[in-house]
Amino acid sequence: MLKSETVRELAREAGFDAVGFTRARRAPHADGFLDWLAEGLHAGMAWLARDPHTRCDPRVTLPGAATVIALAMNYFCDDPPDPPDSAARGVIARYACGRDYHNLIRKRLRVLDRALAGMGGTQRCFVDSGPLLERDFAVAAGIAWHGKSTLALHPRLGTWFFLAAVTTTLEFEPDPPMPDRCGSCVRCIDACPTRAITAPRKVDSGLCLSYWTIEHRGPFPEWVREKLGPRIFGCDDCLDACPWNRFARESREAGFRARAASRLPIRDYLMLDEAEFRALFEGSPIRRAGHEGFLRNCCTALAHCGDTGDLPALDRVASGGLPMPAQHAAWAAAKIRAR
C-alpha cells in the first residue's frame, strides 16, 4: 500500500485546499440516490437517471479501481462593492461570478493524473461532469461532512468549495471520515425560499430556484416567477445561511473572482443577442443557461427589482423574435407598470 503524503503535497501545490483518500467501492449513499431518482426529485435533469448504477460505483468506469482521491477547492471571494449607479442588478450564485470551474480544475487534475501514472496507476478524473457521486466519496474520504442542505461542508471552507475526484488503480491508506458538525442547526432549511429542502439532506429539484434558472429550458410557471426575486442565475440562500461560513477565507485562485460581466445592470443583459451573450460569458458557468434562458431569468427578475427605467429594455424583448423571453418580458413590464 502506497503512502499518500506525496500525492497530498502535489494536490496542495496544484491548488486544492483539502485532500482525502477512500477505498473505491459502492457509494455509501447509493441507495438514497436511487430512491431520490425513483421519486422523480431530479426534475428535468434526465441525464442523472441514465445508467444511474454507473454513478454509484467507480469500479464500473475504471475496472481495477482501488482508491478514490477526493479533492476540494475553495472558491470564496468577497463580493465587489456595488457600482455607484442605481440600476437594478441581478443576483448571481457566487460560484458563477468568475471563471468556469470545470476547465480550471481539469487542468489541476491532469497534474495528479500524470504523477499517479508515473507511480504505475491508471486513473479517471471527475469534476461534476462524469458519472461519480463526488460528495459521497468526499465524505467517505474525510474532507467534508454531508450537510442538511445536501451540500458538503468543511470546517475551514464552509460551503464555498468545489469537489473533484480521481479514481486510481493504486492502493492508498484510507482516511477516517469527518464527524457531522451540523448538530441541531436547520438554518439552511429555513432559508430556502421555496422549501426545496424537504427534509434534512433531501432536496426536491423541482422546487429549487437554482434548477429553474440554470437547467430548465422552458417558460417559468407562475409560482417560480413570483418566487424568483432578483436572482438571474442560481440561488445561494441555503449556502449563505450556514454558520460555518464565518470561517471562510478568500480563495487563492484569482480565476474565481467576480468578472465585470457578472456585475452589469440587468437591462444591459436584455440588449444582448446570442453572439454577444456567448462572447460576454465566454469561459463562464452562466453560458449553461443559454441565451434565451438567461433573458427569461433577467426579465423575470426585473419584475421584482426593476423600475420604469427598465421598461424600454423589457419592451424591446417583448416585441422581439424570441417567444419565451418575450412572454416573460411582457409579464415583467406589466408588473412594473402596475406598481
φ, ψ of residue 218 to 5 degrees: the values are: -105, -165
Residue at grid coordinates 456595488: 82
Annotated catalytic residue within 35, 128, 190, 307: 128
Strands 123-126 and 161-168: antiparallel
Cell of 141: 474520504
DSSP 19-76: EEEEE-SS-TTHHHHHHHHHTTTTTT-GGGGSSHHHHH-HHHHSTT--EEEEEEEE--
Task: For residue 337, give the nearest of 312, 266, 321 by alpha carbon.
Answer: 312
Dist CA 74 CA 87 (whole Å): 31
Query: d(Cα 211, Cα 128) in Å, to the nearest integer?
Result: 15
Query: Among this protein's residues, is 128 annotated catalytic?
Result: yes
DSSP code, position 127? S
Residues classed as catalytic: 128
